[in-house]
Structure 1
Amino acid sequence: MGQAQSNKGHVPSHEELAKQLANKFAEKCFTSLELFSLKDVFRSLADSEQHVRYLKEDTIARFLEIPDIVGASPMLFQMISFIGAFPFLQDAPAVLGLEQMVMVITIMTQRYERVLARGAADRRKLLFKSLAVYDRRFSNMHLEPAVAGTRNNQEQKGVEKNSDQLVDRTPALGFDVDVAGDDEGDVETDDVDELVLAALDSLDYINVFEPRSMFEIHGAMIPADNFRKLIMLLLLAAPLDPQGSLTTYSGRVSGASLDSLRITAECILATFLDVEQSPGIRFQRFNAIIPSLMPFLFNGFTPLFEHFLFSKSLDFHKRNDGSHTKAAILPNLVQPLLTDEGSIMDLNVLSQLSFFIPGSLLFRRLHLLYSGDDDGFSMGSFEAKVFNWRAPTILLVRGNRLPGELDHRSTGPESAYLSTLPPRRFPPGSSDKVERLTFGIYVGQPWKQTHRECFGGEDTLLFQLEPVHDVFHASALNRDYVSFTKPSSSTSQAGISFGCPPPQSTQAYRRSSVVSLGAVSLMIDSSFEFGCLTHDYTSRGGAFQTSVARKFDFQERFEIECLEVWGCGGDEEAKNQAERWAWEAREAEARRRINLGTGDIEADRALLEMAGLIGANRSGGSMG
């Protein structure tokens, strides 16, 4: 039977149980070569004091090559010192010996899933705790007026709670996300860590320790500045390979690139909180946003901490006689993450996309198909460049917000465009001080002309990158995902839309010149001059779900500055597209060379009919 039954006379200490768990992780989660490398790396890095070997913060930062200018090393060390105490988190911070590093690497690389049947989803709570602080002074700051009024009214009505519910009757009681009922399903009522219980259960000691001895999460928060620095590190580490080096991307932490990195981190941080109103992030908010809007946020930790599993003393190119094979002296060629340059897409945007789109579809696999700056802002150019791509695509559009007073006082193209939108307008989705907006769409199916039905599948994603990171997942309410309609006499609404009803015939809608906007939608006009994103939260969504982060109605109307489309795929997809382009070029050249100057009108007409160029009621090759 288990150890709990066979060792009734001896209750193991925390240290003994942690050692047992580390040994189990080492045996089940690492290969013998990886374990040898980890021990070798630890011996080469460890300091020693009173016969105890351990790793220091600056040692780990140097080994992982964390850029000093990012300032994330203290937060990273805080995390791993906390996780090193697993499963007894109340003993944190831990001295990072070899056994503690086994624990850290197992959890940070998600290898624990090979051993623990339960608790896989609980890693997010563990990461939150490792970053959080527990200072009540911060918890009692910056209470929203509406929330404060709600709480005060409750107290005036004599609302009381039991003493075992940890009530704090001070005037300021935290952030609005802490109010019961504001976020459905977000309020955390159980402090018992499933991951901890799974670990103890795997050792048959789950009944030995009281669950409430686990580290509680009430009152915890992640300081905004700390999380901003960690996001910058995760943006850098997102494309990292297990043996890759952060120094490869040293150009991203200097000059204008560093400024861009900070701006991207700020956009992601804005999803969690308003830094002017709240000093930190609560678990309810953290736990609600990450799985929906950025499920792959922490994926960069896996290759980063797998660096400990590759010892430099292991040289597989070395012969028995001490010489090296030719492969050992070949230069280490690194394929660029982006083979093309875009007006919107850069390495930081690419990393941001990888937080909610698998990196296997992005890094070193994107091809610039269409750029308005290079190919012209027209639907014809868009169609010619994009429609032949037989793999997923990502459309990015950036523009400047149109001020609200244009609705009444402006004339010209802006006024004409605004007159086509429904008169009801929601407030902007972010601070009105911000002017630049960036939106995008991930489309898993090839593009095509829209007639009666839209196209796209349930993997379609509508998202915003700037100034707030947000993702609107496809819904099952309807399938109006993507529409591409060129201007013509048979349609009343032309342009590209996402989440809007398909265009209708002018015969049925001749009276209306107002476009139909979906509950959660993005509309780009046919001239690629203006766009509009609508989020009608009260309607509970349409083709796309409403926002998890912004539970209110908003609308963004903007003048387009840049528009580009990227194809997700490898060399095979690019080859197929090039072949299609070459075939179309040959067909166009053949048509151009048709000799219509022979004087034989009937012969020329027959030739054009066979080519399908004339004869509206005939099939392409009919001579009848």
Structure 2
Amino acid sequence: MGQGSSTAADSSSHSEQFTKDQLHKLFYARCISLLKPIELAFLRSNLNINPEEEQISRVISKLELASLLKLGQTEDDLTKGELNDAIDVIYRSLVFIGGLPFLEQGEEGLSLERLIVGIIFYSGQYKKIFTTFDFTKLFYLSLALPKAQVQVEEKSEKVPDEEPKEDEKISVDMLLPSQPEDPPELKAKKINWTKLPSTQLDLATPKLCAKRLQLILTLLLIQSSINKQTLDVQIETILEKWSQFSVYSTYISTFLNLNIKKDHSITFEQFQTINDLAPDFIQKKLLSLMTNSIISTNARTQKPPHTDIPHIEPMTPPPSASRHKFPEFIESKLVNAAFLAYISSLLSRSISPQNIVKLYAGSESGFSIRSLESKIFKWQAPTLFIISGKRLKSKIITTNKRYQAFDHEYPRYFLTSEQTLKSWQNDGERVTYAVYINSPWKNSNKVNFGDENTTILSIQPHADKFTSIHSSVIQGKSIYFNNLGMGIGFGNSQPLNKNGTRKYFPGDVSLTIEANLEFAVFRHVLQSSSPQVQAFFERSVQETIRNEQYEDRFIITDLEVWGVGSSRELAEQQREWEWEKQQAEARQSVNIRSLGEERAFLEMAGLVGNHGAGGSV
């Protein structure tokens, strides 16, 4: 860990001798030099530490850590759901990481020194210390080995000669020679920390408890859902919805191990595949956890006591930026704050209650492709298409005539005698998919539309992602919206509906919705049996599923489409909506007075006038 090949600049470097205690102090000096004075001032203020006193060994309590992270102010706050357990996992992780550069050093509790070292690593500033570093490995160990210090101490008792003693000199590579008059901060910068020998823990032994991982994932999803401008207002409300976020952390955990249970374990090999699903998810969210609470939030809004640092007023957006606001976000059957945090993490895009608006919901507007078309075609920005239902049971497959009609038109890939359900698929379970569509919707009864940003997401029962294939020929045109009886397709070639012949051409990885919005099929096969079908989407990023062939056939219970965009896009859309509203009102309010002689006829018929009393025949 932390080992890397030397650069050309290192070739002329030399080594110097330090004790472990000296290296600990120098490493701490290097870390603390990366924090701004205002950040240190707020940290000390929040912990009631006198800046004139050296208190690096002062132990931070779990409640103090929760308060720093804006996750609780009292002991009662830590009794809400599983928050206490999640804070405990973060606390132990910081204790472990704070032991750098010698992880075998153990102590009880989280000292101020360890907290600051942990902050540097959680916030990503370790990159200024190490030229190469496996953060994923270190963080995994900090979760998997909550008592790693004790284990290493036991090991050192058995082989004391293999570990350097506190007063024993260690040879350390230097980037530049140090001078006797160098202050600790300067001397620490001259050390080549990347090449410092550190304890290498065996990854074959520790395994991460799935429950502990789920706690961390839930906390990070919550963190990513918080509007940074109203942090203190939202956090209490959001923590009350812990169970909602926990559902989606379970889906991510299931991606790592398809048959996982809470009492199961996650290996490091499984843990690091989370980057295949959501690149840098862990590191980005930990950075957010630190920078939006301990390091930055207070520093932007308050003047810390015991310091001459000037007060920084929070920035007020110009009037033009707040002129057009998205309608107030209201949760739907499929979409809530937890869902948006989950989707945003999988897509690595900012999708939140602040930039999303509901365009269509089948439960409100009816499951009609015409209704769907009227609601979504005017939105000229990206959309999120969400479809959910229950996996078809054998009884429906054999008795439902509407399904059988669709099944007749949708080409079979598996033989009737084959058992198509895999070990991770259960009969009758809920299945949910979402599709991110970057380009505006349009009728495409002849030619597909779309671009290479289109992404299909498996939401439940496990997370998965299917990205568009890069092709100069296809150019991401993987979507059709056929209002002539063939429904909607993602990853399909154009369906056939001619001279009484109807047929679908699903791609290797595709999502097909029939025209009545009643049934849908997600197909994942290694190679399509039809030469008329091109491959539009990459196969699963889940290692086990990638080479499996399967289908999700389900009856649709919910379908929603949400618009995603900026305030500019919303402003343009609102202008169009307002114009349409005015046109509709104009059509409904005919100026009867201008009808002249025709008015008398209308009055006789009882259609106007007479105070609504009607006419006589």
Is TM-score (shorter-chain normalized) higher than 0.5? yes
Are 1:20 and 2:34 an aligned pair?
no
Helix, strand or coil: the match of 1:398? strand
In 2: Cα distance, 1:521 partner to 1:480 partner: 13
- 2:95 match: 81
In 2: Cα distance, 1:436 partner to 1:207 partner: 49
CA contact (8 A) 1:495 1:527 kept: yes
Q: Which one of 517, 522, 525 corresponds to residue 536 of structure 1? A: 525
Q: Which one of 490, 495, 519 corresponds to residue 503 of structure 1? A: 495
In 1: Cα distance, 2:107 partner to 2:256 partner: 26
1:546-591, Cα deviation, whole Å (9 max, x unpaired): 1122231111111111111111123322221122233345566778
Residue type matched to 1:97 in 2?
A: S
- 1:563 match: 559
Give the stretch that moved more between structures: 335-344 or 105-114. 335-344
Cα pair distance change 1:576/1:292, threshold 3 Å = same
1:506 Cα deviation from its structure 2 partner:
2.4
CA contact (8 A) 1:390 1:573 kept: yes
Cα pair distance change 1:278/1:341, threshold 3 Å = closer
1:116 Cα deviation from its structure 2 partner:
4.3
Are 1:515 and 2:504 an aligned pair?
yes
Are 1:123 and 2:108 an aligned pair?
no
In 2: Cα distance, 1:278 partner to 1:326 partner: 48
1:518 Cα deviation from its structure 2 partner:
1.0
Residue type matched to 2:365 in 1?
A: D
- 2:86 match: 72
- 2:248 match: 264
1:393-404 paired onto structure 2 within 5 Å: 393-404=383-394
1:403-435, Cα deviation, whole Å (9 max, x unpaired): 14544x313222222222222244257331551
Cα pair distance change 1:5/1:298, threshold 3 Å = closer
Helix, strand or coil: the match of 2:494? coil
- 1:431 match: 425
Cα pair distance change 1:59/1:37, threshold 3 Å = closer
CA contact (8 A) 1:427 1:553 kept: no
Are 1:282 and 2:282 an aligned pair?
no
CA contact (8 A) 2:326 2:355 kept: no
In 2: Cα distance, 1:44 partner to 1:359 partner: 39
Are 1:372 and 2:379 an aligned pair?
no
Cα pair distance change 1:433/1:368, threshold 3 Å = same
Residue type matched to 1:545 in 2?
A: E
- 2:169 match: none
1:301-340 paired onto structure 2 within 5 Å: 301-306=286-291, 307-309=293-295, 315-316=302-303, 339-340=329-330
Give the stretch that moved more between structures: 520-529 or 468-477. 468-477
Q: Which one of 228, 232, 243 corresponds to residue 214 of structure 2? A: 228
1:498 Cα deviation from its structure 2 partner:
0.8
Are 1:448 and 2:455 an aligned pair?
no
- 2:285 match: 300
TM-score (norm 2): 0.72
Residue type matched to 1:497 in 2?
A: G
CA contact (8 A) 1:393 1:565 kept: yes
Residue type matched to 1:574 in 2?
A: L
- 2:340 match: 350
CA contact (8 A) 1:422 1:515 kept: yes
Residue type matched to 1:83 in 2?
A: I
Are 1:237 and 2:223 an aligned pair?
yes
CA contact (8 A) 1:428 1:555 kept: no
CA contact (8 A) 1:391 1:573 kept: yes
Cα pair distance change 1:275/1:3, threshold 3 Å = closer
In 2: Cα distance, 1:264 partner to 1:555 partner: 22
- 1:54 match: 59
Are 1:486 and 2:490 an aligned pair?
no
1:316 Cα deviation from its structure 2 partner:
4.0
Helix, strand or coil: the match of 2:244? helix
1:448 Cα deviation from its structure 2 partner:
1.4
Q: Which one of 516, 522, 542 corresponds to residue 527 of structure 1? A: 516
1:403-414 paired onto structure 2 within 5 Å: 403-407=393-397, 409-414=398-403
In 2: Cα distance, 1:434 partner to 1:14 partner: 60
CA contact (8 A) 1:57 1:77 kept: yes
Cα pair distance change 1:422/1:4, threshold 3 Å = closer
1:474-504, Cα deviation, whole Å (9 max, x unpaired): 112544554233333xxxx621111111334
Residue type matched to 2:273 in 1?
A: A
Residue type matched to 1:128 in 2?
A: Y
In 1: Cα distance, 2:327 partner to 2:223 partner: 12
Residue type matched to 1:439 in 2?
A: Y
1:104 Cα deviation from its structure 2 partner:
1.1
1:82-161 paired onto structure 2 within 5 Å: 82-91=96-105, 96-114=110-128, 116-119=130-133, 122-133=134-145
In 1: Cα distance, 2:298 partner to 2:469 partner: 49
Cα pair distance change 1:462/1:279, threshold 3 Å = same
- 1:457 match: 451
CA contact (8 A) 1:295 1:355 kept: no
In 2: Cα distance, 1:20 partner to 1:453 partner: 65
Percent identity reads 23
Cα pair distance change 1:360/1:115, threshold 3 Å = farther
In 2: Cα distance, 1:503 partner to 1:360 partner: 34
- 1:419 match: 408
- 2:469 match: 475
- 2:382 match: 392
1:209-249, Cα deviation, whole Å (9 max, x unpaired): 447x4233222321111112222212221123567647724
CA contact (8 A) 1:243 1:310 kept: no
CA contact (8 A) 2:30 2:189 kept: no
Note the residue ranges of structure 1 that are not aligned, 5 or more in a row: 136-196, 329-334, 599-624
Note the residue ranges of structure 2 that are not aligned, 5 or more in a row: 1-7, 73-77, 148-174, 176-186, 316-324, 415-419, 597-617
Are 1:30 and 2:43 an aligned pair?
no
Give the stretch that moved more between structures: 307-316 or 529-538. 307-316
Helix, strand or coil: the match of 1:341? coil
Residue type matched to 1:127 in 2?
A: F
1:395 Cα deviation from its structure 2 partner:
0.9
In 2: Cα distance, 1:500 partner to 1:594 partner: 50
Residue type matched to 2:86 in 1?
A: A
CA contact (8 A) 2:391 2:427 kept: no
CA contact (8 A) 1:454 1:481 kept: yes
1:98 Cα deviation from its structure 2 partner:
3.1
CA contact (8 A) 1:535 1:554 kept: yes
Q: CA RMSD in A?
A: 4.3
- 1:174 match: none
In 2: Cα distance, 1:25 partner to 1:363 partner: 36
TM-score (norm 1): 0.71
Cα pair distance change 1:132/1:243, threshold 3 Å = farther
CA contact (8 A) 1:398 1:561 kept: yes
CA contact (8 A) 2:42 2:304 kept: no
CA contact (8 A) 1:293 1:470 kept: no
